[in-house]
Amino acid sequence: MQQVQLLTKEGKPARSSLYPQSIEGTVALGEKDGAPVLPAYRSRGQESLIIWCLWCEKWHWHGAVGPELGAGNGHRVAHCVYALSPYKETGYYLQEIEGSIPEHLQRLKSTSGPRRVLLNRHYKEEG
């Protein structure tokens, strides 16, 4: 998996070079075949599995396949819009988590990603 140096909004190195943030319920549960295994949650309508992408700072939606718990587990192509996301190369595995989306995750809203602007600027200067 590609590692990059991440910056905070203030331009300082982020805590982790592999995962931009540590938000409980979003960090990879492990790795399989070189791709992360990410926790996935059922959408309110139950027809989709959703993950919070730490790289894009957005929710990514994938088909749930069936109503049974874990029916949609498996490898998926990344829906990342952020060019430096390592998920674009490896994709990721979904691992459905039983129950509803935790309350602290329900408050996460997709953003235009100020960190991406800083990263793009940083890589242009070094590249």
68-91 pLDDT, tens per residue? 999 999 999 999 988 888 899 999
Percentages (nearest 5) of helix, strand, coil residues in the chain: 15, 25, 55
Question: Which domain does 59 fall in, by range?
Answer: 30-112
Residue 11, pLDDT score: 57
- Tell whether 100 is covered by a domain: yes
- Tell whether 95 is covered by a domain: yes
- Tell whether 13 is covered by a domain: no
- Tell whether 19 is covered by a domain: no
- Tell whether 126 is covered by a domain: no
- Tell whether 103 is covered by a domain: yes
- Tell whether 1 is covered by a domain: no
Query: How many structural domains are present in the chain?
Result: 1
Cβ-proximal residues to 60 (8 Å cutoff; 6+ apart), any chain: 50, 51, 52, 53, 78, 79, 80
pTM flag (> 0.75): no
